[in-house]
């Protein structure tokens, strides 16, 4: 099950319910400390050195416990009850060239700005240019709002305890939290708090995609249609089709005004030149992707007319992406059908006639507003992609990295998702298909990033669909 994304107050209430149930605070802290240690071990080489900075609160306690569970590593533990002496000790410890800093200075309870001495300590830690693992929340960040308070630790990874905190996922915290890891099995008792935002986990991906029948054939697994590509933008159609093939629909057809350019780059997909009688070959499709690469000067008006008609009337699942987001119709879509729009913040801003910064200030509200206007499920891309409708819980995806900020990444996601939705086994599992596609897309990028900085869309496509990306 996805994990609830919760406030500080909700976390405190959960803790109190745990103590009332007879679970000791010491046992939970022991589990938390061991989780921190495991994360630290994964971030450091055998024989490396880990520098731990422990403050007065529970975060400091977690760091102190972690220090006792670092086999194969040497460690330096700095007691930061006195920030001035802690700064002096920290500067001295740098002579030992630590491989990692564990930030246990302040936790989620911080609700005021740091004093000058603590600001000096935090800034010096950041300036050391050593990877940082923050416990629960980077010190200096408001765990509810994500706002830095005077100064804040710039972590490479944050291991948050129990469940993700709302502030960690705000755009204002992006430069501070790094990769968010959740230690959810620390012994908290009872049901977790209820939230309208849910954090996807690897466990949610098990069983996806469903097993294929031994007697299946290409007619069993659906036919994806892709309306994409134009002069100067044929590559988008090709990327979309190739990514779609990675999700293994029975057939893929591309309908394009850039026939020759697209057809010359695709072998396993059928390519149809755009004509006035295009509806007939489209009628056999079981899902449709509309939009990638439709930005060229040769996109005819009848293409938009046909696409909009399909969007308003067809019963097949449909994904709207890229240029189509500027002209697909808003308003009601057919009941019991799947409509998905996949904007990035800039596209969402155009759709809502506002600035991208406004989208980023409240991504949840933007996604809900778009879902309401377009009667669609919204995949609001970006760091921690949101999947949601105008009511009910939204899903927040933890996978992906800045390497996806390159042309073609959205085409790849749209194609992979469309290929899933074309398959009959996903007829009643649209949300699962979306979550799986978004997770896979981000996880594939994470695996590529772990092997080096230089990779492109061809690499991303080849990595999609790997069952090990959980």
Q: How far is CA 39 from CA 42, 133, 388, in A?
A: 5, 8, 31
d(CA 43, CA 62): 17
Question: Left if phi > 0, otherwise alpha if psi is -120 to 50, otherwise beta: which for 382?
Answer: left
Q: So what's the pLDDT on residue 468?
A: 66
Residues of the chain with CATH 3.40.50.10260: 3-195
Report strand pairing: 270-273 vs 377-380.
unpaired
Structure tokens at 166: 């709302």
Q: So what's the pLDDT on residue 347?
A: 97
d(CA 86, CA 60): 13
Q: So what's the pLDDT on residue 338?
A: 96
Q: Is 225 helix (H, G, I), strand (E, B) or coil?
A: strand
Q: Is 439 helix (H, G, I), strand (E, B) or coil?
A: helix
The residue count of the chain comes to 470
Angle between helical axes of 8-20 and 25-42 (0-180°, round to 10): 130
d(CA 63, CA 50): 11
Burial of 7 (C-beta count, 10 Å sphere; 0-12/13-18/19+): middle
Write down the CATH number for the domain with range 223-463: 3.40.1190.20
Q: So what's the pLDDT on residue 470?
A: 59
Contacts of residues 347-353 at CB distance under 8 Å and 24 or more positions apart, as own/partner, are 347/322, 348/380, 350/325, 350/326, 351/325, 351/326
Residue-by-residue pLDDT tens, the chain, 470 positions: 899 999 999 999 999 999 999 999 999 999 999 999 999 999 999 999 999 999 988 999 999 999 999 999 999 999 998 999 999 999 999 999 999 999 999 999 988 889 999 999 999 999 999 999 999 999 999 999 999 999 999 999 999 999 999 999 999 999 999 999 999 999 999 889 999 999 999 999 988 888 888 888 888 899 999 999 999 999 999 999 999 999 999 999 999 999 999 999 999 999 999 987 888 888 899 999 999 999 988 899 999 999 999 999 999 999 999 999 999 999 989 999 999 999 999 999 999 999 999 999 999 999 999 999 999 999 999 999 999 999 999 999 999 999 999 999 999 999 999 999 999 989 889 999 999 999 999 999 999 998 877 899 999 999 998 766 65
Tokens 């492109």: give the residue. Answer: 456
Q: What pTM does this model have? A: 0.94
Report strand pairing: 377-380 vs 287-290.
unpaired
Residues of the chain with CATH 3.40.1190.20: 223-463
Q: So what's the pLDDT on residue 163?
A: 97
The answer to whether the beta carbons of residues 255 and 278 sit under 8 Å apart is yes
How crowded is residue 352: how many other Cβ atoms within 10 Å of its Cβ? 15
- Radius of gyration over alpha carbons of the chain, in Å? 25
**What is the separation of C-alpha 463 from the centre of its chain, rounded to a whole number of angstroms?**
17
Per-residue DSSP letters for 335-385?
A: TT--EEE---HHHHHHHHTS-HHHHHHTHHHHHHHHHHHHTSEEEE-STT-
Structure tokens at 417: 């998702």
Q: So what's the pLDDT on residue 451?
A: 83
Q: So what's the pLDDT on residue 445?
A: 95
d(CA 380, CA 410): 11
Q: How far is CA 331 from CA 55, 272, 311, 328, 338, in A?
A: 53, 30, 11, 10, 14
CATH superfamily of 3-195: YjeF N-terminal domain (3.40.50.10260)
Structure tokens at 47: 């024989």
Question: b/e string for 390-429 if b means 16 or more Cβ within 10 A?
Answer: beebbbbbbbbeebbeeebbbbbbbbbbbbbbbbebbeeb
d(CA 225, CA 244): 10
d(CA 122, CA 180): 20
How crowded is residue 347: how many other Cβ atoms within 10 Å of its Cβ? 22
């Amino acid at each position: 099950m996805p994990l609830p994304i919760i406030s500080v107050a909700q976390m405190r209430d959960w803790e109190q319910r745990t103590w009332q149930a007879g679970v000791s605070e010491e046992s939970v802290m022991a589990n938390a400390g061991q989780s921190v240690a495991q994360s630290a071990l994964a971030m450091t080489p055998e024989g490396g050195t880990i520098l731990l900075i422990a403050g007065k609160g529970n975060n400091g306690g977690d760091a102190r416990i972690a220090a006792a569970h670092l086999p194969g590593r040497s460690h330096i533990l700095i007691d930061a009850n006195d920030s001035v002496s802690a700064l002096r000790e920290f500067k001295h410890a740098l002579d030992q060239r630590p491989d990692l800093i564990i930030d246990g200075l302040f936790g989620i309870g911080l609700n005021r700005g740091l004093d000058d001495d603590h600001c000096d300590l935090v800034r010096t830690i950041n300036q050391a240019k050593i990877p940082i693992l923050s416990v629960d929340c980077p010190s200096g960040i408001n765990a509810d709002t994500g706002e830095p308070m005077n100064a804040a630790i710039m972590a490479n990874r944050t291991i948050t305890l129990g469940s993700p905190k709302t502030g960690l996922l705000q755009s204002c915290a992006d430069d501070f939290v790094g990769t968010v890891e959740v230690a959810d099995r620390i012994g908290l008792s009872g049901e977790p708090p209820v939230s309208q935002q849910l954090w996807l986990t690897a466990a949610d991906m098990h069983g996806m995609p469903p097993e294929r029948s031994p007697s299946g054939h290409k007619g069993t697994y659906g036919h994806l249609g892709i309306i994409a590509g134009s002069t100067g933008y044929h590559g988008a159609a090709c990327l979309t089709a190739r990514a779609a093939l990675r999700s293994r629909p029975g057939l893929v057809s591309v309908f394009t005004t850039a026939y020759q350019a697209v057809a010359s780059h695709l072998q396993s997909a059928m390519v149809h030149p755009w004509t006035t009688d295009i509806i007939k070959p489209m009628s056999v499709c079981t899902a449709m992707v509309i939009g990638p690469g439709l930005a060229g000067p040769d996109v005819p008006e009848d293409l938009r007319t046909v696409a909009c008609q399909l969007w308003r009337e067809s019963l097949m699942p449909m994904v709207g992406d890229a240029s189509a987001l500027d002209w697909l119709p808003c308003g009601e879509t057919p009941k019991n059908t799947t409509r998905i729009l996949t904007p990035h913040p800039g596209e969402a801003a155009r759709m809502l006639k506002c600035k991208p910064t406004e989208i980023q200030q409240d991504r949840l509200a933007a996604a809900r507003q778009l879902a309401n206007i377009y009667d669609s499920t919204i995949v609001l891309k970006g760091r921690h992609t949101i999947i949601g409708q105008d009511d009910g819980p939204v899903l927040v995806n933890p996978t992906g990295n800045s390497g996806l900020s390159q042309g073609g990444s959205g085409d790849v996601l749209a194609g992979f998702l469309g290929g899933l939705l074309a398959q009959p086994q996903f007829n009643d599992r649209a949300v699962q298909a979306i979550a799986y596609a978004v997770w896979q897309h981000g996880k594939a990028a994470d695996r590529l990033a772990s092997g080096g900085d230089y990779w492109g869309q061809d690499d991303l496509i080849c990595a999609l669909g790997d069952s090990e990306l959980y």
